[in-house]
Amino acid sequence: MTPTAATRPFALLGDPVGHSLSPVFQNAAIRHLGLDAVYVALRCAADDAPGLIRSLARAGGGGNVTVPHKQVAARAVDVASDRVVRTGACNAFWLADGRVHGDNTDVAGVDGAIRALLGRSAAGASVLLLGAGGAASAAVCALADAGAERIVIVNRSPERASELAERFRTPAVRIDTAASADDLPGEQFDLAINSTSLGLKPGDPLPLDPHASTLTLGAALDLVYSPGETQWVHQMRVRGIPAADGKEMLIQQGAAAFRHWFGVDAPVDVMRAALRETSGRDAS
């Protein structure tokens, strides 16, 4: 569909955004449903993000927010969802009832990716979480909501890990912290999640070496994605551990945002097919 003056504008805001696959699958979904909209990626500074968020939403569109502007976005919206309040981050925005709304659909993305990998929710699971940044916050929120039994946050900064643990700790969920996986010799986990940025750049060290670790892992989910598969996912599979990268999380969070924007379920299979065509392999 050729854009017109009535076309609704949607954008991914962040810095950088040139690597993002969101325009690929969001535009594929828009075309499939015959919607008069377009989705683009806009690199912007933090100071410009609030104005762009409000302008795009009030122009009848909306969008997503990626690093490093998710915390800025949380303060820019008029109505923040419970997930935004709990995580302190917003990655999806739109206009409703004359106000700019925001949600953290990364939470739904993590939950969907876990279900796709394990074939079930994280209810009752013991989970090792590598990292304590924004992606980790969404992961802990998803795990807590799903009813995980135990979460161990491993991060180089004990203070940051403790801060994340305290934000989500409840009587129903046991959340511990460790500075290194070496502090957990011989422990067993149903799932390990990499929420660090390790793997984005060629030559990055593994967030956890499955060949050197004494941990027993049931499965591994890498929130990083790359063409093909990340090195961490590859090494986990070599070790015989079921593993998946961040493409399914990307699809699931995008589908949740799509429902906010258009009020209809996203054609997830179409989104996956668009990613397969781009990456040359199954995105699920």
What local confidence, expressed as pLDDT, does residue 283 receive? 35
Domain count, the chain: 2
> What CATH number corresponds to the domain at position 232?
3.40.50.720
What local confidence, expressed as pLDDT, does residue 172 receive? 86
How far is the C-alpha of 73 from the C-alpha of 96, rounded, in Å?
Answer: 17
Would you call 247 a catalytic residue per the annotation?
no
Residues 129 and 203 in one domain: yes
What local confidence, expressed as pLDDT, does residue 280 receive? 57
Residues 210 and 186 in one domain: yes
How far is the C-alpha of 87 from the C-alpha of 172, rounded, in Å?
Answer: 18
Residues 113 and 234 in one domain: yes
Cβ within 8 Å of residue 236, ≥6 positions away: 210, 217, 220, 242, 243
Q: What string of pLDDT tens digits covers the 284 residues of the chain? A: 788 889 999 999 999 999 899 999 999 999 999 999 999 999 999 999 999 999 999 999 999 999 999 999 999 999 999 999 999 999 999 999 999 999 999 999 999 999 999 999 999 999 999 999 999 999 999 999 999 999 999 999 989 999 999 999 888 899 999 999 999 999 999 999 999 999 988 889 999 999 999 999 999 999 998 878 899 999 999 999 999 999 999 999 999 999 999 999 999 999 999 998 887 543 33
> What CATH number corresponds to the domain at position 77?
3.40.50.10860
Enclosing domain of residue 30 = 8-104+248-279
Exactly one of 9, 29, 66, 70 is catalytic; name it: 70
Token pair 């377009």 is found at 38
Report yes or no on 266 lying in a domain: yes
Closest listed residue to residue 106, CA positions, set 275, 279, 223: 223
Residues 203 and 97 in one domain: no
Beta bridge partners of 55: none
Residues 144 and 212 in one domain: yes
Residues 129 and 174 in one domain: yes
Residues 115 and 93 in one domain: no
Residues 94 and 203 in one domain: no
Report yes or no on 3 lying in a domain: no
